[in-house]
Chains A and B, each alone.
Chain A
Amino acid sequence: MKPDDPGITWIEEPKLGLSGRMYLPLLVEGLSTTVKHLLSPKVTVSFPEERPKIGNPLIYRGVHRLNKDHEGRVKCVACFLCSTACPAHCIDIVAAPSPWPDREKYCESFTIDELRCIYCGMCEEACPVDAIELTSLMDLTGRSREEMVFDKEKLLSVYDITKDAEPMKSIAMGGTV
């Protein structure tokens, strides 16, 4: 685009007033802003001792968990909707005939590669039985890549850790208990 293009609207820079040209008033204005921030409460926290406040843990997208039903069984019905929805292809499910009469299949193994996951929450959206959910655990660490591949037991244990703080989606919230 050329400078004389009719599509360009030229805006004149506003002229500085007297106080602006004296520089000192603007200087004091800048200084007062800085000092105000210098004295104001800080927004960061001392992380490992102090946890950052998570707005609503129920909708935070952290580490996954596999929910259990009231009998302590895994809720997953191995429908593969989550792994289909997953844009990062990080969910790997092995289905097997269900030993329980209320469903046809269940997941024999259920692995999520937490390093591949992009924490988009699509699996949670896709799950028809609210078996997979994202918790508010946000400081996931590990010493090896293998350790960061969460299997079924680990995902179920995440549920045990977080179930009190973050209850499963209830019927009231549109969930299936």
Chain B
Amino acid sequence: MSAEIIAALIKIVILVGGLLTAAAYLVLLERWIAAWVQDRRGPNRVGIPLTNIRMFGLGQPLADGLKFIFKEEFTPGHVDKGIYRLAPIVILTAAIAIFAAIPFGSVIPPVAGFTEPIPLLVVPELDVGIVYAFALSSIAVYGVILGGWASNNKYSFLGALRSSAQLISYEIPLGLGLLGVVLLAGTLRLDKIIEEQASTGIWNVFLQPLGFFVFAVAATAEAARLPFDLPEAEQELIGGYHTEYSGMKLLLFLIAEFLHMITASFLIVILFLGGWHFWGLTGGSEMSWLTAILRIVVLAVKIMAVIVTFMIVRWSWPRFRFDQLMSLAWKVMVPLGLVNLVVTAILVEYRKSSATAGGSESFVIPIVISWGMTLVAWVVAGLLAPLASDNTPRRAAAPFDAESELT
């Protein structure tokens, strides 16, 4: 076995182990933040098993996991058994496989048997990194649809229907928000996009504010987080597509859900918030162990910040109604994404021509233009496609006369 394969295997083990642990602890974090926002204390009891040491409830994921393992795994009689078992596997596999193309750090200095620095990316030099990540994030819809269909239950089916409509609609603004970044960087490789931001020192969020908004909203919808959690809306659909699941199968769905959120945070941070770059902290091109670890830490901190924002957002805004969700996607987000794409294309051309004319590369004009464009586009979108729609009942329609209908 060559050193590359061994290195890839080690990276896979670290990544999968880390992701599943992170998903477990995100459940705890979610419960904490839910509690704190509601002025409660949250889970703070479970610590080291068989002792009285509590550690602020950090043992909770272990207890949750044990509970899920020992729960009865009930398969209702009316489900389509094969698809029912397939759905959680599909959704979790797709959710984990995305991370093959997502860098979880920069590079580490060469160790045993290597002459080059080792990139912290399972599949280095994957030229279609973003396309791959998007393809797999779309496969998550299949898991949801299969689960909802196989459950043979109206709530599950409605959840799956909503979910497919939502995820397919929001793929478009997601892609449009991203295209501006791709135009700027000129590559589809996620590690190159980070390097581009690090070399100029200007994160894409400053150059692409509108793209960032569109992408962040669409990513929230893709991860099915509130206010876009229509697929599973507990109050309306008692859990949506995973209503009929229990035990480990339900756990797989829940892990996949948290992995989607982690993916969305990774993509937001890598594409718009500079990845592992932080001014004056993460070093230049020469690599030492210190800078390598600092970069991983910076990336992790940024991702945590985005995840915490997701969780606070969850408790800030009510869920969209389905028609509002769709009108937001098609009437607001898609046009905004298109505007962003066109303006970015013009800016890139302008930069190219000014570079060939011999002028020094300045970021002031692009930043001013993109922020001004964002402001104008936002106001126009807000005025032309307001989210609030007319909810008053139609009074003009002839009232239904039940008495005459009965007699």
Contacts and interface: CB of A to CB of B under 8 A. Distances in A.
Contact of B36 (A12, A24, A38, A46): A38
Nearest to A5: B399
Interface residues of B, number: 27
A160 B387 CA distance: 65
A27 B40 CA distance: 23
B51 interface: no
Contacts of A41: 39
Interface stretch (A13-21, A51-59, A72-80, A114-122): A13-21
Interface string A20-51: 11111001001101110110111111100000
Contacts of A40: 39
B368 interface: no
Interface of B: 33, 36-41, 44, 312-313, 315-317, 378-379, 382-383, 386-388, 390-393, 395, 399, 401
Contact of A42 (B41, B312, B393, B399): B41
Interface residues of A, number: 28
A37 B37 CA distance: 5
Given A44-B40, A46-B41, A31 B316 contact: yes
A3 B393 contact: yes
10 contacts: A3-B399, A4-B399, A10-B395, A16-B388, A21-B383, A22-B378, A27-B316, A30-B316, A37-B36, A38-B37
A2 interface: yes
B382 A34 contact: no
A12 B390 CA distance: 10
B335 to A, nearest CB: 15
A95 to B, nearest CB: 49
A164 B127 CA distance: 78
B39 A23 contact: no
Contacts of B36: 37-38, 42
A30 B37 contact: no
A21 B381 CA distance: 9
A20 B39 contact: no
B220 to A, nearest CB: 12
Given A21-B382, A40-B39, A44-B39, 8 more contacts: A13-B392, A24-B378, A30-B317, A34-B312, A34-B315, A38-B33, A38-B37, A45-B41
Contacts of B33: 38
Interface string A67-109: 0000000000000000000000000000000000000000000
B217 to A, nearest CB: 10
Nearest to A32: B316
Contact of B386 (A16, A30, A44): A16
Nearest to B387: A23
A24 to B, nearest CB: 7
A3 B395 contact: yes
A2 B36 CA distance: 45
Nearest to B213: A24
A31 B33 CA distance: 13
Nearest to A26: B317
A37 B35 CA distance: 10
A57 to B, nearest CB: 24
A92 to B, nearest CB: 40
Contacts of B386: 16, 21
B399 A34 contact: no
B313 A13 contact: no
A175 to B, nearest CB: 38
A42 B39 contact: yes
Given A4-B395, A10-B395, A35 B378 contact: no
Contact of A34 (B37, B40, B379, B388): B37
A114 to B, nearest CB: 28
B388 A37 contact: no
B392 A44 contact: no
Given A2-B399, A3-B395, A43-B39, A38 B312 contact: yes
B39 A37 contact: yes
A20 B316 contact: no
Nearest to B45: A46
A46 B316 contact: no
Contacts of A3: 393, 395, 399
Contacts of A13: 390-392
A14 B360 CA distance: 53
A31 B316 CA distance: 5
Contacts of A12: 392
Contacts of A16: 386, 388
Most buried by A among B33, B39, B392: B39
